[in-house]
Structure 1
Amino acid sequence: MERFRETLAECKLSDIGFSGVSFTWERGNLPETNIRERLDRGVANDEWISLFPLGRVQHLPFSTSDHCPLLINTARVNPYSRHRRFHFEAWWTMEESFEEVLRGLWGSSSGLLMEKLKVLQNERNDETLARIIDTKIHLNMEIEKDEVYWEQRARVNWLQYGDKNTTYFHKSATTRRRANFITKLVADDGKKIVKETELQEAAKIFFEKLFSFDGVADPKRILEGVDSCISPEMNEVLNSPFTADEILVALKGMGPLKAPGSDGFPALFFQKYWQIVGKDVLDFVWVF
């Protein structure tokens, strides 16, 4: 190791940084033997760093090997990107043990719906690490779960889980991600904006104008030309409290893998495990 450090110093090579998880190597199938270290890294000299000042190494997901793949990215990286928030994965529902684990965690948690959902987003401890390792072992042999994983990201709702076309889902998800990444904007005067700070400022100004107003006309005068079509009886029905059955019907009508809310749980989670979480959902809805 000392010779390696001397070689780095002699060649004037320095660490160029990374993004992703903090480790590149993981070994051990039990919590007490699990070890995670950053063994692999990218180094470069001053000339390379000057040529690619935004170059970074990205730690990619891995499951089969104990080393994660490294991707060197010399393109611009968004410095304002936030830490990836929790996101419920559709393939978790295919684990036979998931419902039992969910039932146990849900039953042992106190508080309202949002507090119980936060419990499900807990950090790694010995118990969750053991489940993660066990899931990795099974995941390597279950291609069907990989298909569901990419279908969720592709938002392709007209294909069913049975279509064995993982490559298609992968390409769809990649295309959607590329389309959602803004690299250039055109201002009202035709000027092209490419700098990160200017992109954010342009977007901020656009939406400030979009949601601002100079005042509105008298709403009573606006409604003078609109004929009333809601009878008192209809209005009473519309204002009556909704029932549990109506909530469940509305939930079942949602796309299971549509974009989730800020809690990271899509409709699929509540549809599949309504018998466990339904009461808390109803209590939450009726309170608010």
Structure 2
Amino acid sequence: MQKVRACLDEYNGMKVDSMGKAGGLAFLWRKEVTCTFRSTSVHHMDFNIHGIEVSWRVTGFYGWPAMSDRHLSWELLRLLCSQETDPWLCIGDFNEILYANEMKGGNCPQWQMTNFMEVVDDCGLRDIDFEGYEFTYDNGQQDEYNRQSRIDRAMVSQAWMDMFPRAKLLHLDREWSDHAPIMVILDRGEHEEKHRTKLFRFEQEETFWRQRSRALWLRDRYRNTTYFYRKASQKKKKNCISRLVTDDGRSHVGTEAVSKVAIEYFKGLFTSCRPTGFEDTLTVIDGRVTEEMNAPLREDYSEEEFIAALNQMHPLKAPGLDGINVLFYQTYWHIVGNSVIQMVLDILRGAPILDNLNKTLIVLIPKKKAPDKIVDFGL
């Protein structure tokens, strides 16, 4: 540790010695950062970080490696949680997995995972979504003797997630160790918000958060409360699909990989196999639509039908790819109405449709808790 600090003059640091070849903790921070020591042991290091605008708590954690001692890890976590705390980040090697799919080439008793889940729930912690290879530990053996698992992770309180809503965890490449380094990227989202190009801003901030949170019982003129913001942030986190598992058992992590899986799935789902030979089957099926019923369905489209349909739509749901929702058209119909009606009626009457108008957003609705396959989502 002394050699490491000698190479990093701009850092302060503390360490806990290893137990033989196992364990050992070190905590380094830049000298311009104000850091307050809380407590330490051979299994944890606990500090408060004080920034210009925010203060929060970080705990480096090393879980007991022996299965028979695993309960000691959970007792320590509960003890740390019981202490008065700022928004909390707990990161490290927990020597345990939360879910069965976090292990490859082995198995973990359900009761072990349940014990871990219970302490995580008791402490009000949640995972930071990760990017990179899904397993952080590899025993280095080959073929059927290889064991991989995700025992290194970063978990945070809701208050910490509210402070850093765009934080993410990176699983870096392993080099000389059997563990992959993990790195938390802190992002409060302020830079992105300041520089984001806004197409329109014709509603107040409260209306924006009302749409984000889907708390439709709130109305304009209510001020943006902490609850309101938290509800929106929780829904965004819940709606995020950070990983999908394909039929071959492979796990695809990150926005690009997940998007590719979804696109390929829906291409196959919505591509016709061009079936033939079904005419004979149709001839023996009794018709249910009479000529009288079919007559109004075959009538030409009218402007009145279009306006009636527009007014029946919810003003704040289902924005398009351009971010504009129905409220815009309902509010500014006296300006854009004639052009929109003419374009739509031309298309309905057979005119070619512009390529961009044929694109849409597919909303995936989970069919079960913690979905991890594309078939676990409905439209």
Report TM bin, short chain: 0.3 to 0.5
Higher relative contact order (Cα pairs below 8 Å, separated by 6+ residues): 1
* More helix per residue: 1
* More strand per residue: 2
TM-score normalized with structure 2 length: 0.37
Which is higher, the Rg of structure 1 or of structure 2?
2
